[in-house]
């Protein structure tokens, strides 16, 4: 059985902008931020502040069709599945990114052909292959099951009847690390329509965003592997170390015809092998973070379990995918969630795995898109060790081994008879002494003895080298020494070959017929030895298995005895119903445990996030401290500059004040002078009036008036001069005269 190391393949599918996006989102968020690189078709460019590039095994642009996705990414996985590899396809991405559309998890028979997703396409291709001439000698049994993980509960989507009354679905691991589940309805299907009918009735869409859906196909094929494929009729001899073929009748009906030597291509004896493989189609729950969905109550619980399932998946991916971690970490946390437990042998185990990361192209979803791209990118580093699940039928089956031993005994008896006949013929044509022939251990005539290898020895699996010998003899042929063994004694260490009746021929008697007989006898001898070896091997195996069985039986009896005697309490025989009940309890405890550990993981991740944030804040703080110091310095500089400015301003202001004061003082002075003059003028006018009233001489009176008028004019001139001076100094707010 060969193993191939393969990386997990990752395909990226960009969803086209849908009507929903156009209607529900403001236009400014509809900008497309992710596109296929114009230089490399397997790279995408994310148009953020700093452009980011991501490389995948396949990239599908928004316009890629369902057919294109199927052909490029899935096509050759069916061949692998038929070869016996386990195959898993996971669709990952935020809600509404196109996972269900791509996978076809909610497809039914009504969906138009061009819109059909991966499941119906793969099933159609599978049925077409198994019904083709290429596989006509194989026998196939194909079954499907459909399981949902919701809140860490496993729900059988194809289960009949009430959910509570169904047997619990439990996850088991066999001794080889293969994961399988029990209590699940597995339906035999013969064509793609049957498959899609089953898928269609499950109403997967109703809560697909909030649960993981796993659609599984289990295929068991039986195929006949000939020991010798004889192109053009060449050698037919079985390879000496090949294991004996399983009798066709014991298991799978008729076996192709046994050895033949025709010139046509023929099959020699071969063996039926059983190849079993499983194909999982996993439609994961929406990957968006809990905080964005702002969920509370039951939805928050759902969210925690979804996130934790995906977180556990992420942790498994990171443990397997990070080359540094892979070197140091032996523990891969598969048991942290039911999802990872179910997929245990499909991630980093015995499987061919493809992850299809689905993303939305628009700016509104950019953060989720980048987180999906990073998640998917990590998955590319996982290495799987995939091997064909092939097993020669019956090697663990005691009944089958017993049948095989019986068959071999029959063949040996037939050979013995043939040899005896041959010997008899030789004896008739040659000079062989009858008693010598009868003394040959090979043809001793003892029913229980074959070459001294008693059938009684079978359980203890004594090999020919330890058998009791028949009375000693020599070959009787000159030049061919016989072997001598003490009667009843042990065999000599040399390899014992059965004493051939041909040994009794004399040289002179060997003619062409005898030569042919001799050759065929030798061939038979060789075959007999071969059969003896196989027989011994099988006997050993049989003895070992019987011994183990006996041991187990003893242990079982002992345990039962202890149980029964313990403290005088006789334990009841546990009924099937009770076992079922126990399994239910165990399963529900497992669910609770998984949810608790999921919640714990979730809290841990939040804690980690917060720690990271605090760490980030601390380092930002440190940076800020430097910034504050330089700001303080800058402020000081500014302050001193400001002070200087103030001083300058004050000087300037005082200079301004000074001129203002001067002007106002001058004005005041002038005004007071003016007032004085006006008073003097008023006084003069009064005096003049008095004079006019009391003076009788006209001439002296008019002289006085003339003088006074001249004086008045002079004063008026003075006042005008002063006024002009005031205007020049810009003091318009003087009171008007």
Ligand X SMILES: Nc1ncnc2c1ncn2[C@@H]1O[C@H](COP(=O)(O)OP(=O)(O)OP(=O)(O)O)[C@@H](O)[C@H]1O
Positions at the binding site for ATP: 93-100
Which two structure tokens, joined as six digits, stand for 393?
A: 């039928």
Q: Is 209 in the site for ligand X (CB under 6 A)?
A: yes
Using CB under 6 A as the binding rule, whether residue 120 contacts ligand X is answered as no
3-state secondary structure 376-411: HHHHCCCEEEEECCEEECCCCCHHHHHHHHHHHHHH
Pick out residues in 633-652 that bind ligand X (CB under 6 A). none
- Please calculate the CA angle 698-700-704 and round it to the nearest 5 degrees: 110
Minimum separation from the CB atom of position 257 to ligand X (A)? 53
Contact 44, 12 (CB under 8 A): yes
Taking each helix axis from N to C end, the angle separating 576-694 and 698-728, rounded to the nearest 10 degrees, works out to 160
Of 438, 445, 446, 417, the closest CA to residue 501 belongs to: 438
Token pair 């037939």: residue: 414
Q: Cα separation of 473 and 439, whole Å?
A: 7
Q: Of the listed pieces 96-104, 154-162, 327-335, 596-604, which binds ligand X according to CB under 6 A?
A: 96-104
Cα–Cα distance, 302 to 310 (Å, whole number): 12
Give whichever of 95 and 381 is closer to ligand X, judged by the CB atom: 95
Helix (H), strand (E), coil (C) string for 31-51 = CECEEECCCCCCEEEECCCCC
* Site for ligand X, residues 18 to 77, rule: CB under 6 A: 18
Q: Is 116 in the site for ligand X (CB under 6 A)?
A: no
H helices of 26-155, in order, are: 66-69, 75-83, 99-103, 118-130
Q: How many helices (H) and strands (E) does the chain have?
A: 16, 21
Q: Of 100 and 473, which has the nearer Cβ to ligand X? A: 100
Strand order across the beta sheet in which 52-55 lies: 34-36, 43-46, 52-55
CA distances from 198 to 187, 336, 506, 527, 668 (A): 9, 30, 78, 54, 111
CB 347 within 8 A of CB 320: yes
Residue nearest to ligand X (CB): 98
Among 441, 443, 413, residue whose Cα is nearest residue 425: 443
In the complex, what is the shortest distance from the CB of residue 341 to ligand X, in angstroms, rounded to a whole number? 22
291 with 299: CB under 8 angstroms? no
Q: What are 592's two structure tokens?
A: 């609770």
Could you tell me where the DSSP H helices lie in 508-575?
A: 512-565
Q: Which range touches ligand X (CB under 6 A), out of 12-20, 179-187, 371-379, 403-411?
A: 12-20
The one segment of 90-98, 382-390, 536-544, 706-714 that binds ligand X by CB under 6 A = 90-98
Report, in Å, the least distance between residue 21 CB and ligand X: 9
**Nearer to ligand X by C-beta: 69 or 420?**
69
Nearer to ligand X, 301 or 533 (CB): 301
Residue 68 or 578 having the CB closest to ligand X: 68
Smallest separation, CB 357 to ligand X (Å): 11
Q: What are phi and psi of 380, to 5 degrees?
A: -65, -20
Residue 194 within binding range of ligand X, rule CB under 6 A: no
Cα separations in angstroms, 321 against 33, 94, 185, 382, 660 = 27, 21, 34, 4, 85
Which position among 58, 80, 101, 467 is part of the footprint of ligand X (CB under 6 A)?
Answer: 101
Going by the DSSP 8-state scheme, the letter that residue 577 receives in this structure is H
Contacts of 429 (CB under 8 A, 6+ apart): 509, 511, 513, 514
- Nearest CB to ligand X, comparing residues 372 and 534: 372
Binder of ligand X out of 84, 93, 321, 394 (CB under 6 A): 93
Take residue 531 and report the two structure tokens written for it: 């059969």
Q: Is 98 in the site for ligand X (CB under 6 A)?
A: yes
**Where in 427-466 is the site for ligand X (CB under 6 A)?**
none
User: Does 369 help bind ligand X (rule: CB under 6 A)?
Assistant: no
284/320 with CB nearer ligand X: 284
- Residue 161 CB, nearest distance to ligand X (Å)? 27
Contacting ligand X (CB under 6 A), which of 86, 145, 208, 485? 208
Q: How far apart are CA 520 and CA 426, in angstroms?
A: 12
- Rank residues 107 and 152 by Cβ distance to ligand X and give the closer one: 107
Residue 97 in contact with ligand X, rule: CB under 6 A: yes
Q: How far is the CB of 155 from ligand X (least distance, A)?
A: 16
Give the binding-site size for ligand X (rule: CB under 6 A): 15
Binding span for ligand X by CB under 6 A among 88-96, 422-430, 624-632, 726-734 = 88-96
**Among the listed residues 9, 15, 467, 591, the single contact to ligand X using CB under 6 A:** 15
Confirm or reject binding of residue 358 to ligand X (CB under 6 A).
yes
The residue (of 104 and 349) whose beta carbon lies closer to ligand X is: 104
Q: Using CB atoms within 10 Å of the CB of residue 461, give its burial: 0 to 12 exposed, 13 to 18 middle, 19+ buried.
A: middle
Shorter beta-carbon distance to ligand X: residue 93 or 452:
93
100 in contact with ligand X (CB under 6 A): yes
Would you say 207 or 687 has its CB closer to ligand X?
A: 207
Among the listed ranges 48-56, 93-101, 250-258, 636-644, the one in contact with ligand X (CB under 6 A) is: 93-101
Residue 537: burial class (beta carbons within 10 Å; 0-12, 13-18, 19+)? middle
Neighbouring CB atoms inside 10 A of 193's CB total 15
Looking at 95-103, 495-503, 668-676, 723-731, which segment touches ligand X (CB under 6 A)? 95-103
Could you say which of 245, 247, 286, 430 contacts ligand X (CB under 6 A)?
286
Q: Which C-beta is closer to ligand X: that of 209 or that of 454? A: 209
| Known binding-site residue numbers | 93-100
Min CB(275)–ligand X separation in Å: 33
Q: Which residues bind ligand X (CB under 6 A)?
A: 15-16, 18, 93, 95-101, 208-209, 286, 358
């Amino acid at each position: 059985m060969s193993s191939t190391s393969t990386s997990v393949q990752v395909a990226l599918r960009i969803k086209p902008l849908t009507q929903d996006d156009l209607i529900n989102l403001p236009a400014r968020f509809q900008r497309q931020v992710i596109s296929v690189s114009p230089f490399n078709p397997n790279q995408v460019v994310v148009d953020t502040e700093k452009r980011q590039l991501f490389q995948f095994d396949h990239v599908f642009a928004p316009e890629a069709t369902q057919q294109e996705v199927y052909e490029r990414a899935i096509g050759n996985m069916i061949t692998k599945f038929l070869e016996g590899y386990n195959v898993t396809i996971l669709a990952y991405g935020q809600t509404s990114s196109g996972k269900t559309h791509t996978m076809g998890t909610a497809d039914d028979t009504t969906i138009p052909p061009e819109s059909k997703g991966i499941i119906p396409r793969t099933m159609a291709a599978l049925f077409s292959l198994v019904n083709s001439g290429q596989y006509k000698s194989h026998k196939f049994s194909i079954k499907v099951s459909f399981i949902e993980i919701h809140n860490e509960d496993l729900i059988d989507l194809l289960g009949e009847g009430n959910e509570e009354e169904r047997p619990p679905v439990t996850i088991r691991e066999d001794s080889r690390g293969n994961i399988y589940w029990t209590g699940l309805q597995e339906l035999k299907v013969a064509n793609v329509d049957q498959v899609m009918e089953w898928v269609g009735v499950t109403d997967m869409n109703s809560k697909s965003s909030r649960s993981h859906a796993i659609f599984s196909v289990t295929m068991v094929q039986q195929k006949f592997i000939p020991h010798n494929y004889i192109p053009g009729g060449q050698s037919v001899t079985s390879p000496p170390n090949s294991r004996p073929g399983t009798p066709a009748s014991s298991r799978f009906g008729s076996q192709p015809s046994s050895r033949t030597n025709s010139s046509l291509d023929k099959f020699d004896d071969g063996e039926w092998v059983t190849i079993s493989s499983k194909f999982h189609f996993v439609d994961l729950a929406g990957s968006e973070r809990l905080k964005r969905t702002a969920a509370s109550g039951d939805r928050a619980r759902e969210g925690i379990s979804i996130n934790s399932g995906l977180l556990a998946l992420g942790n498994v991916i990171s443990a397997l995918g990070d080359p540094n971690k892979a070197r140091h970490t032996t523990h891969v946390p598969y048991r942290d969630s039911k999802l990872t437990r179910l997929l245990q042998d499909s991630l980093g185990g015995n499987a061919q795995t493809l992850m299809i990361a689905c993303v939305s192209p628009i700016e509104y979803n950019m953060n989720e898109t980048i987180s999906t791209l990073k998640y998917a990118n990590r998955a590319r580093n996982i290495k799987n060790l995939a091997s064909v699940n092939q097993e020669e039928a019956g090697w663990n089956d005691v009944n089958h081994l017993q049948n095989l031993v019986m068959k071999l005994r029959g063949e040996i008896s037939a050979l013995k008879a043939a040899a005896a006949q041959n010997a008899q013929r030789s004896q008739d044509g040659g000079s062989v002494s009858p008693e010598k022939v009868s003394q040959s251990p090979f043809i001793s005539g003892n029913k229980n003895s074959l070459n001294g290898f008693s059938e009684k020895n079978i359980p203890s699996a004594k090999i020919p080298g330890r058998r009791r010998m028949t009375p000693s003899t020599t070959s009787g042929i000159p030049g061919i020494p016989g072997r001598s063994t003490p009667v009843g004694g042990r065999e000599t260490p040399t390899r014992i070959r059965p004493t051939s009746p041909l040994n009794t021929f004399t040289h002179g008697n060997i003619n062409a017929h005898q030569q042919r007989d001799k050759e065929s006898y030798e061939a038979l001898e060789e075959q007999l030895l071969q059969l003896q070896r196989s027989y011994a091997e099988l006997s050993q195996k049989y003895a070992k298995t019987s011994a183990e069985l006996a041991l187990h039986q003893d242990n079982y009896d002992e345990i039962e005895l202890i149980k029964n005697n313990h403290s005088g309490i006789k334990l009841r025989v546990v009924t099937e119903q009770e076992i079922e009940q126990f399994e239910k309890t165990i399963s529900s405890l497992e669910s609770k445990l998984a949810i608790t550990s999921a919640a714990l993981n979730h809290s841990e991740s939040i804690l980690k996030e917060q720690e990271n944030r605090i760490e980030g804040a601390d380092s930002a703080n440190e940076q800020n401290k430097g910034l504050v110091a330089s700001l303080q310095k800058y402020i000081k500089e500014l302050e001193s500059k400001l002070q200087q400015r103030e001083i300058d301003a004050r000087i300037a202001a005082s200079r301004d004040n000074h001129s203002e004061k001067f002007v106002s003082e001058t004005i005041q002075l002038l005004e007071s002078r003016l007032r004085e003059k006006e008073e003097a003028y008023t006084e003069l006018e009064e005096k003049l009036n008095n004079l006019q009233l009391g003076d009788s001489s006209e001439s002296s009176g008019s002289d006085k008036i003339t003088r006074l008028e001249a004086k008045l004019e002079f004063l008026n001139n003075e006042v005008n001069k002063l006024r002009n001076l005031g205007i020049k100094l810009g003091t318009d707010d003087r009171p008007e005269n």
